[in-house]
A and B are shown apart, each in its own frame.
Chain A
Amino acid sequence: MRRQLLAIVAFLAAMALVPHLVGSEFWRNWVMMALFYALLGQAWNILGGYGGQFSFGHAAFFGTGAYCSAILHVHYGVNPWIALPAAGMAAGLVGAFIGFLSFRYGLRGSYFALVTLAFAEVLRILANTVPITGKGVGLLIPLDPGAANMQFADRTGYFYLILAFVGLALLLTLWLEHSRFGARLVAVRENEDAARALGVDVFRTKLAAITLSGALAGLGGSYYAQLFLYLDPGIAYGPAISVEALLVPIVGGMGTLFGPLLGSFALHGVSELAKLAFGEAAGLDLALYGVLLVLMVMFMPNGLFGMGRTTLARLLGGGRDA
């Protein structure tokens, strides 16, 4: 635990230097967006990686967080800093609601995945229909730079904000790995019936995980809203976010502390590499990205972190595959 904590602190410290050491604003922005997707991936990881419950619908939480903070700010004049925890809570509540229904009825595996996808779609359609979200026109947050407004004239503010969120997510995950709750969650992932036999309240454990996961994704949504100042139903609840949220941790290593971070940086790196190769031929770079994705899965079935651990174990003379 201490070593992991040390690693987190070292990582955060190194990242904190990025705005000062990296001169290129493009690359600073790149790191910032990688951190943003790492946050969403870390949120997914709690439920999917540690809890074994695959969600295809994390946009439901992301979008709720985004809309909640934007609506509070635009329609009710609430300061974004105050709206932020509310957004996390609202997204957590949506998580609890979806979790309550689906776990109550014992949905697992692909059934659970599909039900989360369907909920995200329902929310997208609702956002397209109810007036408070601005319907299809979307919701524009007035441009009013100032740290008090959670709008930073300079990207550095946004950088430290997302770094703080990622730090929070990492510490939360670290706690999870070493807490009784985390142990129960992993037990549920490995074998629900066995966990139940050992006295684990499976339903409540999963419910807590999806609530926590949803709340974290909601923070990401709030961040996105303050960064780009515009939301529409497709941005908030569309499938793109759900896909990113699951890609990042699976590629990086599910159920590991640093998996989502690794996955996010790796995927963004791969995407940049593909652009470098074919950047100006529309579509070809994304096709290459797809090929690289398949190759990554083929050669690193346990994710980047899993592979790193295996190699490390070998080097240290353990000789056994993890």
Chain B
Amino acid sequence: MVEFQILLPAILNGLTTGAVYALIALGLTLIYGVLHIINFAHGSLLMLAMYAVFFLHAGLGIDPYLALPVVVPGFFALGYLLQRGVIARASHGRDENILLVTLGVSIVIENLARYFWRSDTRTIETPYSFETVDLGVAFIAVPKVVAFAGALLVTLALWWVMSRTDLGRAIRALAKERQGARLVGIDVDHIFAMSFGIGTACVAAAACLLLPSFYVSPGVGHTFVLIAFTVVVLGGMGSFAGALIGGLIIGVTESLCGLYLGESLGQIGIFLIFIAILLFRPTGLLGHRA
């Protein structure tokens, strides 16, 4: 049985791929958990961040990992402005309108990217692109190991911000009780925008960690956005540990279903898990009852 021989390496691969999914989902779960909006623009923001990383590398020779301190704050600001200047203003706080606005924003970003940067698929080559770590049972590509560690660190950082800072407390208060938060003097619009900014910053971190092992094109967001939603629901909306665990579970599920059902049909496993979680435990693995 071929499948059995490569079972262990396949699980390891699933874990590293899953860590990338978790990274992308972390920002989404924050936005989803606090603002209760399905952010259709998440994928296109990921794409935009990947282009930023690409051009920093291609133009200035900055290594994608060293680009983190530039790209992450930049995208935090972008996210803040996007929520405050566009999404909040255009949607009048109504769910269906937020949906359309984020959809519109994603159409704009994606097609401007096509116009300015053409639709070519671009990759970067770093000294470690083809390097692997030999774990005895499997070779794991270095960028994937880094992404795995990065996912853990970003989760920890988010957890720290949310539980140890005033900002985090305000965000949590807002997520639980909008009216109450307003009454105790929390600047709701500001905190909403901060949440969106942090969520966007997370996606920028994901872009830095992802690009060395992937590619970027104007449509690359679509590759990950559905998976990210799956992870968010699986882990529980607004739960960072949930997103991490959810990402890893989805990664391993995808890997094993691919192994046993074929890479084509195997994708179905992700969505069946997704549906099952929605039906039987809609709060997700680590979510709280709303």
Contacts and interface: CB of A to CB of B under 8 A. Distances in A.
> CB atoms of A and B under 8 A apart anywhere in the complex?
yes
Interface of A: 54, 101-102, 105-107, 109-111, 113-115, 117-119, 121-122, 125-126, 128-129, 243, 246-247, 250-251, 254, 281-287, 289-291, 293-295, 297-298, 301
Contacts of A294: 86, 90, 100-101, 104-105, 108
A119 B275 contact: yes
For the complex of A and B, 3 pairs with smallest distance between CB atoms: A290-B107, A283-B114, A290-B108
B105 A290 contact: yes
Contacts of A297: 90-91, 97, 100-101, 104
Contact of A115 (B91, B106, B119, B279): B279
B107 A284 contact: no
15 contacts: A54-B96, A101-B275, A114-B233, A115-B274, A121-B267, A128-B265, A129-B262, A282-B119, A283-B115, A286-B107, A287-B111, A290-B104, A290-B105, A298-B101, A301-B91
Contacts of B113: 283
A128 B279 contact: no
B220 interface: no
DSSP class of B's interface residues: helix, strand, loop or mixed? Answer: helix
B224 interface: no
B142 interface: no
A121 B104 contact: no
B282 A107 contact: yes
A127 to B, nearest CB: 11
Interface string B8-48: 00000000000000000000000010001010000000000
A105 B110 CA distance: 36
Interface of B: 32, 36, 38, 86, 89-92, 94-97, 99-101, 103-108, 110-115, 119, 218, 226, 229-230, 233, 262, 264-265, 267-268, 271-272, 274-275, 278-280, 282
A309 to B, nearest CB: 17
B186 to A, nearest CB: 24
A293 B278 contact: no
Given A118-B274, A125-B264, A301-B94, A107 B279 contact: yes
B108 A114 contact: no
A264 B86 CA distance: 24
A293 B100 CA distance: 8
B115 A281 contact: yes
A294 B275 CA distance: 31
A284 B111 contact: yes
A285 B274 CA distance: 36
B229 A287 contact: no
A237 to B, nearest CB: 12
A286 B226 contact: no
B97 A301 contact: yes
Contacts of B95: 54, 109-110
B115 A287 contact: yes
B266 to A, nearest CB: 9
Contacts of A115: 274-275, 278-279
Given A118-B274, A283-B115, A290-B104, A298 B90 contact: yes
Contact of B271 (A102, A107, A121): A121
Contacts of B96: 54, 250, 254
Nearest to A135: B264
A285 to B, nearest CB: 8
B264 to A, nearest CB: 6
Nearest to A301: B92
Residue with the highest number of chain A CB atoms closer than 10 Å, among B89, B226, B271? B271
A284 B115 contact: yes
Nearest to B116: A283
B180 to A, nearest CB: 21
A118 B110 CA distance: 23
Contacts of A246: 99
B112 A283 contact: yes
A82 B94 CA distance: 43
Contact of B103 (A54, A117, A291, A293): A293
Nearest to B114: A283
A54 B100 CA distance: 13
Contacts of B264: 125, 128-129
A114 B104 contact: no
Given A117-B226, A289-B107, A105 B279 contact: yes
A87 B32 CA distance: 36
Given A282-B114, A291-B108, A294-B105, A102 B86 contact: no
Contacts of B89: 298
B104 A118 contact: no
Contacts of A119: 271, 275
B103 A243 contact: yes
B101 A114 contact: no
B272 A122 contact: yes
Given A114-B233, A115-B279, A297-B91, A251 B100 contact: yes
A234 B226 CA distance: 15
Contact of B265 (A107, A129, A301): A129
A111 B97 contact: no
Given A125-B267, A287-B115, A290-B106, 11 more contacts: A54-B99, A115-B275, A118-B271, A125-B264, A251-B100, A283-B112, A287-B111, A291-B108, A293-B100, A295-B90, A298-B90
A283 B114 CA distance: 6
Contacts of B90: 294-295, 297-298
A34 B38 CA distance: 27
A233 to B, nearest CB: 10
Contacts of B92: 301
